Amino acid sequence: MATTAGFPGGRPALATGPRKSNASNLTCSRGAVRCAANLRGTLPEGLPSLGLGTIAWGDEGYGFNTAYREKDLREAFEAAVTRGVALFDTAEVYGYKSGKVGQSAEHLLGLFAKDAEAGGQAGAFVGSKVFTIPWTNMLMGGGFRTGRKQLVEACKASVERMGGRRLDLWSIHFPFPTFGQGTLMDALEEAMDLGLTNAVGVSNYNLAQMEEAHGLLERRGIQLATNQVKYSVLSREPETSGLLDRARELGVRVVAYSPLDGGRLARRGGGDAKIAELLKLMEFIGVANGGRSAAQVALSYLVARGATPIPGVKTAGQVEAHAGAVGWGPLDENEVGVISEKVEYLGL
């Protein structure tokens, strides 16, 4: 496989300096983050405008070791590096049961990244997330999570599962009433100070929570790098709530999970007549843009809005299909507007 430049990784041994993808047309050109120069934890330049989700990696509930195996996931990783979309989202709990045999999502990503580096390839940008439920120790081991110390220990465990590779991004998986925002931001700060991660983020934060988190980190001299939220053509709350625009103002990159709405934007709407009608419009737009699929148009819509979609993948074929959503667009303002109007008209 040809060597492809990638993104700054964790440990110095894995990344000696900024690197750029050879698919430069994949980098963000709209909604680019703008961070204060004196803040730590800003995202590196040249990150792709589309990433990939790994919720199914190592999880037998999704078919791991039956429908797909480690070999398939390795091929998916390699395809992502080749196509310049090697921005991976994971979490400590993804495939955690397989962690006993070194096959959780974090284990696999760490292994694949290490092997890629050893072979002269660029590796990947990897972001992981920490569960904030106190009794997460029942799944992951360790102590009952009561505060900053236990959360930081969880980050150390993630780094260990990654083979000692510093995380490129470490995020709070979701806000939980047990922890105040100050405690959560203290944990993110300490992880930065200890060199466990290059940047920090949050996930499932609404507008007010994001603004609070940003303010708390900014006072610590740290940039809130990302907010990962559910966002798709069919789930547009980040647009309607003002979160997307505010994130852009704060220099926070919005990462869109479930960008194909659980597959409804990739499988003829799952029997829903209204979604099927929307997909016909998106297929037409795809034809006008060189024969793109409705799913690729759905992903391009989010890129055009300034978000970074992270569709889940298990095979190299899925990586190739999703990578086809970038490199030719994104959609122009008229196309985005037509899709938005259609969604509103159909009451979706």
Q: What is the DSSP string of 245-287?
A: HHHHHHTPEEEEESTTGGGTTTTGGGG-HHHHHHHHHHHHHHH
Tokens found for residue 320: 């190739």
User: What gap in Å lies between CA 251 and CA 267, rounded to an integer?
Assistant: 34
Q: Are 114 and 100 in contact (CB under 8 A)?
A: no
Active site residue 94: yes
C-alpha 147 chain-centroid distance:
25
Half-sphere exposure in the Cβ direction for 107 (13 Å, CA): 16
Catalytic residue among 68, 94, 205, 301: 94
Backbone angles phi and psi of 253, in degrees to 5: -80, 130
Helix (H, G, I), strand (E, B) or coil at 312: strand
Strands of 87-89's sheet in order across: 52-53, 87-89, 125-130, 169-172, 200-203, 224-230, 253-257, 308-309
Catalytically annotated residues = 94
